Structure 1
Amino acid sequence: MRITYGPWGESLEELTSAARAAEEAGAELIWVPELHRSATVTAAAVASATTRAGVGTAIALAFTRSPMITALEALDLDELTGGRFVLGLGSGARRLNENWHNARWDKPLAQLRETVEVIRTIVAASHTGQPLEYEGEWQRLSVRGFRRPYQPVRTEIPIYLAAVGPQLTRMAARIADGWISHELCSPAYLREHVLPNLAGRRDGFDVVVSGCCSIDRDPALARERASGVLAFYASVATYKDFFAFHGLADEHARMVEAFRAGRKAEVPGHMVDPLVLTGTPDQVAERIAAYEGFADTIKLTPAVYGNSPAQIRENQARLITLIRELTA
């Protein structure tokens, strides 16, 4: 199982320093998200700070850029990394697309499939001068007389898709080079819910599970500092089935209700335990080992929500030290 990492930083300088430290510790790929920063700009910063580890977006929003811009950014990042780039895409939620980005979000499966097809068309042939054509229900491309005057490092850049629901997970197995889990994904959920929907995956397909970590010598403090992650994600009503799978439907419903009412929701400890990797370094190492045989790659990240920069910094340092021990 490959060990990879999603760094945190209060500044881009700190984030890229953490990426470099994780690479030196043995992380094989550095992932960057898209929420408070642009995924592609952050990926470019990480690319310049690293020399061996892959650089991937986990995830870039698929519908808030045109497929042409996404493809050109992917080609630029692949050049900047010398062929180390992985394009991770996700549909995002309707509210995020429509209210934050004024982007269309209607039939996300078909829209995402066509987006991937257009990106691959551009990556494969934009340097040849031949017409770039695509006609779908959601995406249309008609480019003539265009030739990107740079030889690409690769004409096929790996595209991974993030998915929670079964339909999108099955589509990822059919059309993508890898699947990226939600930030919360227990071994049981991966084994019983995800892998059956990835049964038809292509050769070389990469199953990437996310492991959000909170490490402290005091397990109770580690659990407490992980509660903000649960509070953040459990406020989203569309994750109902995910929490129900873990026997947490009632807790999830109460947290959604509190969020809608503008109240702060209390996170019970039993809600944290199955979904966030918490405890001492040895305990977290054991939790990571539970994914062996089910995931090809694990993406480790420090618990961020609800914690101060100093607390996140301490947790990140412990996590990078643990990566060094796991990869030694």
Structure 2
Amino acid sequence: MPTDLLLPMVSEMDDGDLAARAEDLGYDGLWLGELWGASSVVRLTEIATRTDDIDLGTAILNVFSRTPAVLAMTAASLDDVAGGQFKLGVGTSTKKSIEDLHGAEWDDPNPVRRAHETIEVTKAYLDGDERVEYDGEVFEVQDFPALGADVPVYHAALGKANRRVVARLCDGWIPHNIPFPVLQDNYEYIREHAEKVGRETTIDVVPYVPAAVADDTETARDVIRGHVAYYVGSGEGYERAVAELFPEEAEAVATAWRSGDRSAATEAVTDEMVDALGVAGTPDEARDELRDIADIDCVTRPMVTIPSNADEETARRTIEELAPSNH
């Protein structure tokens, strides 16, 4: 079963050692996120020098803090260092991150339009046929050549408007916090809109799969509860995605989190939410759940995602137990 791995965004564990171990364990791809504390671009550059054949990708770089030109140069350079094995994953991130961390305007004009134009211009700069000219609502660029780099672009789209961006422009989709029982229906929306615009390409689907393995099932499940509470509480897009299947529960989690009661928010994540939004349990239980997600028709390969609230022992064990070599 092809399987990718997302490392924690900030970790005390050595990235290069973990990446080399992931490759030895048979993981097909290794992804890094980026929010605050460490640059995934720098980390991936070091990882590229420590690995041989494993694919590398960003999951994700936000579309506000780097221009399309910078994203294109970054992707082309990393692809060169990684021997042609790099995938550029981007997304809108959250309003709090964009406004409070980066000091950018979330609604200028809106996140979906920015994602669309960023991806469209970035792809033109990467591998366009002519000198790049673009006149949009967000970006106006002219008279620079493409870089001649064949780098796939993935988008972490949640809502329908953002999924239409995937349908029109992207090589892959990285869904997060869309409950797995409704993932296929969400993909069908992408497929239908790709057909409407005349695209016949196959769109790769690599969902984040928050995962935790422990001897005690409830200990592992509590890691997923904390992960879900953080995302539902921190971003309205994540709340809406979870609410597609759990409307009342998502509202309860978000309300508690935003009131500052993180413990209550975590406790509000129900068993059914844990089952639908991650894999957790003993090694055998977690492997069975991961196989079920991999068997969803639209899924190309799951991305085992180590929650940032997992301790080092849990992180290492999860990486080992859910590796392709143990399937």
By the TM > 0.5 criterion, same fold?
Answer: yes
Instruction: From 276, 300, 314, give the equivalent of 2:304.
Output: 300
Number of the residue aligned with 1:275: 277
Distance 1:230 1:73, change over 3 A: same
Aligned residues: 312
Q: CA deviation at 1:212?
A: 0.8
Distance 1:98 1:225, change over 3 A: closer
Number of the residue aligned with 1:194: 187
| TM-score, scaled to structure 1 | 0.86
Number of the residue aligned with 1:260: 258
Pairing 1:212-227 to 2, within 5 Å after superposition: 212-227=210-225
| TM-score, scaled to structure 2 | 0.86
Pairing 1:93-132 to 2, within 5 Å after superposition: 93-106=94-107, 107-124=110-127, 131-132=131-132
Percent identical among aligned pairs is 27
- SS class of match (1:65): coil
Structure 2: which amino acid aligns with 1:298?
P
**Matched-pair contact (CA < 8 Å) for 1:304–1:312:** no
> What whole-Å deviation, never above 9, does each CA across 1:247-302 have from its counterpart, x for those lacking one?
3x333222322233222333244232321200111111111111213301211022
Instruction: From 145, 149, 157, give the equivalent of 1:155.
Output: 149
- SS class of match (1:23): helix
Q: Within the alignment, does 1:33 sit opposite 2:26 as a pair?
A: no
Q: Within the alignment, does 1:171 sit opposite 2:173 as a pair?
A: no
In structure 1, how many angstroms separate the alpha carbons of the residues matched to 2:158 and 2:10? 29
Distance 1:193 1:9, change over 3 A: closer
**Matched-pair contact (CA < 8 Å) for 1:12–1:45:** no
In structure 2, how many angstroms separate the alpha carbons of the residues matched to 1:303 and 1:115? 28
In structure 1, how many angstroms separate the alpha carbons of the residues matched to 2:280 and 2:149? 41
**Matched-pair contact (CA < 8 Å) for 2:2–2:324:** no
In structure 1, how many angstroms separate the alpha carbons of the residues matched to 2:55 and 2:163? 23
**Matched-pair contact (CA < 8 Å) for 2:9–2:33:** no
Number of the residue aligned with 2:3: 3
Distance 1:314 1:79, change over 3 A: same
Structure 2: which amino acid aligns with 1:166?
K
- SS class of match (1:191): helix
**Matched-pair contact (CA < 8 Å) for 2:63–2:114:** no
**Matched-pair contact (CA < 8 Å) for 1:255–1:265:** no
Pairing 1:81-100 to 2, within 5 Å after superposition: 81-100=82-101
Which range is displaced more, 25-34 or 198-207? 198-207
Q: Within the alignment, does 1:64 sit opposite 2:65 as a pair?
A: yes
Name stretches of at least 5 consecutive residues in structure 2 with no aligned partner. Answer: 195-199
